[in-house]
Amino acid sequence: MSYSLPVRIYYQDTDAGGVVFHSGYIDFMERARSEWLRSLGFSNSGLMKDLGVVFVVRSLEITYFKPALLDDLLDVGVEIESLGRSLMVFRQEVRRGDAILASAKVSLVCAASDSFKPVSVPGAIRKILES
């Protein structure tokens, strides 16, 4: 299951030379994962309020290939690589056209929103991901 979010680069995303800050890519990837979740019919606030869970980043490994620049239109991709009891692993890419600017492997843990202890991924989400 894959998803792509278009992201425009604004001045606030860049340094004085018009190059995106390295941490900006992580923000773009977070936004894409949130929108991917929304496309499945769930929101982060709904998960907290209705199901008492949050997804927290356990680990992130990112590789940068080329810089994103002021006014670029990027596509930020999300693809789930694996789904465990409480762990989801994603592959993400930031692209400008056919060029890969950055790629990452992001592991998220489903946790109880009150204790941050790992819990099972909610059945409603698991059902969609496993179909």
| Residues known to be catalytic | 15
HSE-CB of 56 using CA atoms within 13 angstroms = 13
Give the Cβ contact number of residue 60 at 10 Å: 15
H or E stretch covering 111: strand 99-112
- Residues near 20 by Cβ (< 8 Å), separated by ≥ 6? 9, 13, 14, 67, 68, 69
Residue 122 is given by DSSP the state P
